[in-house]
Amino acid sequence: MKRLVLKLLTCLVAIVVATAGHLRVRAQGQAPPDHPSITVGGQTYTPRSILARNMGTPEDQSTAFPPHKIIGNIYYVGTRTLTSYLISTPQGAILVNTTYERNVPVIQKSVEQLGFNFSDIKIILGTHAHGDHQEGDALAKQMTGAQVMAMAEDVPALQGMKPGGKPHPIDRVLHDGEQVSLGGTTLVAHLTPGHTRGATTWTTKVTDGGKSYDVMIGTSLRAPDRITPQILDEFNRSFAKVRALPCDVQLGDHAAQYNMQAKYAKLKSGGANPYVDPAGCKVEEEISEAMVRAIVAEQGGRQP
Ligand SMILES: [Zn+2]
C-alpha cells in the first residue's frame, strides 16, 4: 500500500512538473510545433527549429556581436541573434531595429566602438512590431532625439508596445513604397506583411570600392502556428514582392536569416566581401514560403 501511494505521488509530481514546464514554454511563445518539416538547400526546418535558430539563447539575444562594417555606409551594431544596423550619412545616422529595450545600451556601446556618437542617430526604423525588434524605440528616442518612423499597418501593434509604461513614439507614419532619406541615403519601405500586419522590407543602394550594390534588409516572414485566409493572402503578396526586389546583399532581422556568423568569419579572413551574395538573397524567402505552404497543407486548408 505504501509503495502504491509513493508511486501515485511520484506520478502526480511528474504530471505537475510537465504541465508547468509546458505552460512556461508556451507563455514565452518559445515552442511552436515541431511539424511540419521542410527541406530547403539540403537543410531541414520545422517551425520550432526556425524560431530556435532565430532567437538563440537569452544570452545570445543580449550579447553584442562584434560591431563591424557590412558594406558601404552600413554597419552591424546588434547582438548575436537580434540584428541592428547603423546607416551613417554626413547628416547623421539611421538606426534599423532597436531590439529589446534592455539592449539599447548594448547597441549604444557598439555604435561608439565604431567611432560614431549615439546622438548622431536622427531616424529610427524597424522591420516589424514585435518586442525583439522594436521594444527599444522609446528609450532610443529618449537618448538621441531621433524620429521614429513606422509602417501604417504596424502602428496599432507598436502602440501596444509600452516598456515601463512609456508610450511608443511614432513621428512619421509610412506607407508601402515610401522613401526615408537622410544625408544622401534613401531607404524604400516595402510592405511585406504576414508575420505582422505592417512587416517591412527595406531596400537601399550603397557604394563600396567604386561599385554600387542593392541592399535588402528583410523582415521575418515566419508563419504563425495557424494560418488564416487573410494571413495567407498577405504572405502570398509578400513572397512575390520579396522575390522581385533587387538584391546583392541580403540582411535580416535575425542574424541566422543570412548566416551572419559565417559571413563575418569570412570577412575577417579577407578577400571578397562575403556579404555580397546575390545567389543567397532569396534563401530565407524560400524557407519561409515552403513553411507556409507546408502548414497550409497540414491544416487541410486551401492551397494557393
Ligand atoms: Zn517577430
Give me the sign of the Cα torsion angle 136, 139, 141, 143: negative
Which pLDDT score, from 0 to 100, does residue 31 have? 84
What separation in Å is there between the alpha carbon of 51 and the centre of ligand 1? 9
So what's the pLDDT on residue 30?
A: 59
Pairing of strands 172-174, 92-96: unpaired
Instruction: Give the cell for residue 216.
Output: 535588402
In the reported structure, the alpha carbon of residue 212 is separated from the centroid of ligand 1 by a whole-number distance in angstroms of 31
Instruction: Detail the DSSP E strand segments found in 60-171.
Output: 68-71, 74-76, 85-89, 92-96, 121-125, 147-151
CA of 231 to the centre of ligand 1 (A): 14
Cα angle 28-32-35, degrees, rounded to a multiple of 5: 165
Question: Rounded to whole angstroms, what are the CA distances from 97 to 32, 94, 128, 232, 286?
Answer: 24, 10, 9, 26, 23
The DSSP code for 300 is T
Cα of 115 from ligand 1 centre, angstroms: 30
How many angstroms is it from 128 CA to the middle of ligand 1?
7
Ligand 1 centroid to residue 26 C-alpha, Å: 16
What is the pTM assigned to this prediction? Answer: 0.89
Residue 195 CA, ligand 1 centroid: distance in Å: 6
Nearest-10 Cα torsion for 101, 107, 109, 112: -130
| Tally: H helices and E strands in the chain | 10, 14
pLDDT at residue 26, as a whole number: 39
Radius of gyration of the chain (CA): 21
The DSSP annotation for 121-132 comes to EEEEE-S-SSHH
> What is the 196 CA–ligand 1 centroid distance (Å)?
7
In the reported structure, the alpha carbon of residue 210 is separated from the centroid of ligand 1 by a whole-number distance in angstroms of: 36
List per-residue pLDDT tens for the chain, 304 residues long. Answer: 455 444 544 444 444 433 333 333 333 455 899 999 999 999 999 999 999 999 999 999 999 999 999 999 999 999 999 999 999 999 999 999 999 999 999 999 999 999 999 999 999 999 999 999 999 999 999 999 999 999 999 999 999 999 999 999 999 999 999 999 999 999 999 999 999 999 999 999 999 999 999 999 999 999 998 899 999 999 999 999 999 999 999 999 999 999 999 999 999 998 899 999 999 999 999 999 999 999 999 998 554 4
Residues 6+ apart with CB under 8 A from 268: none
How many angstroms is it from 56 CA to the middle of ligand 1? Answer: 14
Q: Separation of 285 CA from ligand 1 center, angstroms?
A: 15
Task: Specify the 3-state DSSP secondary structure of 249.
Answer: strand
Q: How far is CA 204 from the centre of its chain?
A: 17
**Ligand 1 centroid – CA 159 distance (Å):** 16
The answer to whether 141 and 124 are in contact (CB under 8 A) is: yes
**CA of 127 relative to ligand 1 center, distance in Å:** 9
**Rounded distance from Cα 134 to ligand 1 centre (Å):** 10
Q: For residue 7, how far is its CA from the centre of ligand 1 (angstroms)? A: 44
Contact present, 38 and 291 (Cβ < 8 Å)? yes
Ligand 1 centroid to residue 116 C-alpha, Å: 28
Give 206 Cα–ligand 1 centroid separation in angstroms. 27
Instruction: Assess contact for 154 and 137: CB atoms under 8 A.
Output: no
CA of 222 to the centre of ligand 1 (A): 8
| CB of 200 closer than 8 Å to CB of 127 | yes
- Residue 29 has what pLDDT? 55
Q: For the chain, percent helix, then strand, then coil, each to nearest 5?
A: 40, 25, 35
CA distance 161 to 136: 10
**Distance from Cα 16 to the centre of ligand 1, integer Å:** 31
